[in-house]
Amino acid sequence: RKKQTVISWPKDELDLSDELATHLREDLKTRDIIVGREMEIDRVNRLDIHIAVFSRDNLGRPKDSMETTIELKCCWNRELDTAMESQLAGRYLSANGCRNGIYLIGWFSCATWNDSSDTRKQQVPTISIDEARKKFSKQAVEESVKTSFRVASVVLDTRM
């Protein structure tokens, strides 16, 4: 009997954002935390994920909020090296008054991604996930100093 090869490929950015937002909503639902997905900040710009945490006054009413914007990219995105500055800090944090941002990268690069017709695989950087974490962490520190926003990076191990 001939062994069948299973073709495997990663999720796209929208699917990964949807799954992350669903997970965050489920995980944080009992903590007065609101997780928004694809929130519109103007006619052109849409945030991937927006999180708002509300404190409560002595009567239990919501008051001050602390907010974070998450910009998500997959490791093959052509703007991977520039979107932290151009999109997260330059557009989203600047436009919506939020001072905190997370640049989240889904790192799918692995041997089981074996669909040779998938052109995204050719866009993946040749660095390791550890090197990517160091690189984008350094970039987040530099962006935070330059802009006075609080920017962090997360390289999520989404390898199959």
Instruction: Tell me the per-residue pLDDT of 52-99, one tens digit each, with 9 for 90 and over.
Output: 887 778 887 777 778 889 999 999 999 999 999 999 999 888 877 789
Residues 6+ apart with CB under 8 A from 7: 114, 115
Phi and psi (nearest 5°) for 84? -60, -45
What is the average pLDDT across 31-41? 70
Q: Is 121 helix (H, G, I), strand (E, B) or coil?
A: helix
- 45 pLDDT band, cuts 50/70/90, is low
- Of residues 115 and 69, the one with the higher pLDDT is 69
Confirm if 69 and 37 have CB atoms less than 8 A apart: no
Phi and psi (nearest 5°) for 17? -60, -45
Query: Residue 130 and residue 100: Cα distance in Å, rounded?
Result: 24
What is the average pLDDT across 123-137? 93
- 43 pLDDT band, cuts 50/70/90, is very low
